[in-house]
Amino acid sequence: MTNPLLTPWDTPHALPPFDAIKDADFAPAVEAALSEARGNIAAIADNPDAPTFDNTVAALELAEATLGRVLGVFYGVAGADSNPAREALQRDFSPLLSAFGSEVTANAALFARIEDLWTRRDDLDLSEEQARVLMLSRRGFVRQGAQLTGTAADRLRDVKSRLAVLGTQFTQNLLADERDWFMPLAEEDLVGLPDFVIDAARAAGEAGDHGGPVVTLSRSLIVPCLQFSPRRDLRQRAYAAWTARGMNGGATDNRALAAETLALRGERAKLLGYDSFADYKLETEMAGTPGAVRDLLMQVWAPAKASAEADAEKLTALLHADGIAGPLEPWDWRYYSEKRRQAEHDLDEAALKPYLQLDRMIEASFACATRLFGLQFEPFDGPVYHPDVRLWNVTRDGKHIAVFVGDYFARASKRSGAWCMAMRSQQKLAGDVQPIVVNVCNFAKPAAGKPALLSYDDARTLFHEFGHALHQMLSDVTYESISGTSVARDFVELPSQLYEHWLEVPAVLSEFAVHAETGAPMPQDMLDRMLNAATYDMGFQTVEYIASALVDLEFHAGPPPADPMQRQAEILGDLGLPHAIGMRHATPHFAHVFAGDGYSSGYYSYMWSEVMDADAFAAFEEAGDPFDPALAQRLEQTVLSSGGSVDAAALYQQFRGRMPGVEALLKGRGLAA
C-alpha cells in the first residue's frame, strides 16, 4: 500500500487528497518524513565540499520538505476537525518533533558550516534575501545555545528543562485554583441577572453537583456576574476570588514559581550573552529593545489614564445615585460601566444580525481584495477534509495565485477561536510553489435553508483572518522559512488588524451589510451604534492592559526581582494605577508570561500591532480614498509580499515613509485629547 501523504498529489491545484488519506497514514508518514529529514541534514553536515550558501543554507531550506507537507495536512485537520485518533497522534508527535528540533540545533558540524558562511558573508555575493536567510538561520542556532560548550552548555540545558517544568506547574496550579472555587447563589441572589447568566450559573451548579446555581471562576461566568449583579457584596466576593488565583497559599500558590522563573530566564539570557531576558526576547522583534517598548506604552498610558479617570467620575456618580457612599471599587467598575453602556450605546444584537450575513461578508472581504490588489476569487470543487469546507481559486490577470480555503462553522471537532494557516506556503526554491491558505472560524451554523448570520465581532474576525490570508497569498519570496506570515511576532498582526479597517468603510458596509430578508441597507443609527460600541470603555481596557504589559516588561528588563509581588506593587505605584482598576492579569495568574515564554516580555505586542494598523490605515484616510491604488500597490510591495525577507521596521518605513506614531491609535480608541 502506498501512503497518500507521501506520493505526488494529482488533484486540482495539488490539494491534499483528503478523500484518500486515513488517520492510520499519519504516523508512518511522519516517521518516514523524519527519517528522510535526518538523512538530508546529515548529508549537509557531513558534506566533504566546502560550505556554500546552496549546499548548506538553501539545502537546509529543502531538507524538511516532506515533513512540512505531511505536518501541514496533519495540523490542519487536527485543529479544525479532530477526533480521538488525531488527538493521540498530536500527543505522540509533539515530543518527536521537539527532539528533532533540538537535535538539529545541537548538530555541531552543521553549525560550523553556517558559522563559516557567516564569517565570510561579505565575500559570498549573496542576494539581499539570501543574506537575510543566512542571518536568521545562524541567529536561530545561536539563540538555542549552539555556541556554548562544556559546563555552560550543560547549564543552559538544565535551565531550559527546569523552565519547562515551572511553566507546566504554573498552568496546573492556575487550573486547580480555577476549578476549586465556587460561590453558591440563593434564588434571591439571581435577581437582576440576565437569563443567559442565570442559565450558565445553573448549568455550572449541575456540572459541579452543587445542588443549585453557582458562580465559578470561568471567565464566561465571572465576568458577566461582575457586569450584571446588582449585589455589591457578591461582586466583591467574586472579584476577590478572581484576583486571588495563584496566590491562595498552599500547594497551588504560584508566587515562588514566578520568582524562580524570572531568575532562570535572567540566567539563560546571561549564558547566551544578553544583558537581560527582555534584550534576548526583543532581539527578534520589530520593537528591538526594552526602551522602545517602554516608550510606546508610556505614550499611550497618560491619555488612557486621563480617559479612565474621567469615566471613573461618571461611574462614581452612578454609584452614589444608588445610595452607596465612598469610592468606586474595582468590583464596581464593570457593573456601573454596563449600566452606562446600556443608557448611552445600547445595541440590539438581535436586530443587527440579519444585516451581517456570512456570505455577504465573505463577498465583502473578497471585493476589498479585488479593489485593492486585483485578486479574483472563483469557487471550485476539490478534495476537502469536512463537508462544510469551501474552496476558491485565487487569480490575478488570469494567473493562479493561491487556493483559499474557508472553514467557517463551529463544530465539536474544531478547537475554539479563529485562525489562519498555510497548508502549503509560497516559495520559489522548489519550483514556483503557490500556497494553500486556510481560514478557520467558529461561527454558528444556521438551520438548513437559513442564511448564516454574524455578530459584528464575528464579521471583524472574518476580515482579520482574511488579512492574515492575504499576507500568505501575496507572499513573493524565494525561501520558505521567510514566506508569508514568517515575520516577527509584533509585526504579524499588522496585515490582519489593518484589514479589519476595510470592514468599517461606509461604502463597504452599505453595499454588503444588507438585511437577509428585505435586502435593505443597515439603518444609519444602527450603524453608528455598532461602530461606537467598539470604542466604549477604552480608558479602562487600555489602563488594565498597559499595567500588565509594563509589569511583564520590567520583570524581564532588569535584574530578576527576588520578590515579584513587591516589584509589581512598585511598578504599579510608579504608574499611579487608578484605584478602581486592577491589572488585566496579575503575576500569580499571568499565564501569557509564566505558562511558557511565548509572550514573556511580549505582552506589549498586541498594542504594538494596533499602533501600526491604525497608523497604516491613516495613510489611506490621508489619501482621501480607502482604496487608493498607489498606496495599495505600495502596501503589497512592502508589507504583504515580503514576508520576513526584510526587517519589519524597514518594511514599515518603506510603506509609510516613517516609523508609526501613536496618534491614530489614540484616535481609534477614542483617547485622543
Please give the residue ranges that form the binding site for Zn ion (CB under 5 A): 493, 496
Question: In sequence order, what are the residues at sequence separation of 6 or more whose Cβ sits closer than 8 angstroms to the Cβ of residue 174?
Answer: 245, 246, 252, 254, 589, 591, 595
Tell the smallest beta-carbon distance from residue 462 to Zn ion (Å). 12
CA distance 192 to 13: 57
Tell the smallest beta-carbon distance from residue 557 to Zn ion (Å). 26
CA distance 23 to 384: 15
**Are the C-beta atoms of 576 and 295 separated by less than 8 Å?**
no
Query: Which of 66, 496 has the CB closer to Zn ion?
Result: 496
Query: Which of 132, 501 has the CB closer to Zn ion?
Result: 501
CA distance 493 to 462: 14
| Burial grade of 11 (CB within 10 A; 0-12, 13-18, 19 or more) | middle
Question: In sequence order, what are the residues at sequence separation of 6 or more whose Cβ sits closer than 8 angstroms to the Cβ of residue 579?
Answer: 312, 327, 328, 329, 330
End-to-end CA distance of the chain: 69
| Burial grade of 28 (CB within 10 A; 0-12, 13-18, 19 or more) | middle
Query: Which of 361, 514 has the CB closer to Zn ion?
Result: 361
Q: Is 344 a catalytic residue?
A: no
Neighbours of 360 (CB within 10 A): 18
Query: Which of 267, 490 has the CB closer to Zn ion?
Result: 490
Tell the smallest beta-carbon distance from residue 605 to Zn ion (Å). 11
Pairing state of beta strands 376-379 and 399-409? Answer: unpaired
Question: In sequence order, what are the residues at sequence separation of 6 or more whose Cβ sits closer than 8 angstroms to the Cβ of residue 483?
Answer: 422, 425, 426, 427, 435, 472, 475, 477, 643, 644
Tell the smallest beta-carbon distance from residue 467 to Zn ion (Å). 8
CA distance 370 to 379: 15
Tell the smallest beta-carbon distance from residue 495 to Zn ion (Å). 9
DSSP letter assigned to residue 482: G
CA distance 235 to 90: 41
Among 156, 117, 153, smallest CA distance to 133 is for 117
Cα separations (Å) of 545 from 59, 515, 577, 589? Answer: 44, 36, 11, 14
Query: Which of 193, 422 has the CB closer to Zn ion?
Result: 422
Among 567, 576, 503, smallest CA distance to 546 is for 576
CA distance 668 to 364: 22
Query: Which of 418, 572 has the CB closer to Zn ion?
Result: 418
Tell the smallest beta-carbon distance from residue 421 to Zn ion (Å). 11
Query: Which of 490, 493 has the CB closer to Zn ion?
Result: 493
Question: In sequence order, what are the residues at sequence separation of 6 or more whose Cβ sits closer than 8 angstroms to the Cβ of residue 639?
Answer: 471, 494, 495, 616, 651, 652, 655
Catalytic choice (267, 465, 500, 554): 465
Tell the smallest beta-carbon distance from residue 490 to Zn ion (Å). 12
Tell the smallest beta-carbon distance from residue 363 to Zn ion (Å). 22
22 dihedral zone (left: phi>0; alpha: psi -120 to 50; beta): beta
Query: Which of 467, 660 has the CB closer to Zn ion?
Result: 467
> Three-state DSSP class for 380?
coil
Tell the smallest beta-carbon distance from residue 464 to Zn ion (Å). 6
The sign of the dihedral angle between the CA atoms of 77, 78, 83, 85 is positive
Tell the smallest beta-carbon distance from residue 609 to Zn ion (Å). 9
**Are the C-beta atoms of 407 and 376 separated by less than 8 Å?**
no
Among 558, 594, 617, smallest CA distance to 290 is for 558
Tell the smallest beta-carbon distance from residue 641 to Zn ion (Å). 19
**Are the C-beta atoms of 433 and 450 separated by less than 8 Å?**
no
The sign of the dihedral angle between the CA atoms of 37, 39, 45, 50 is negative
Active-site amino acid positions: 465
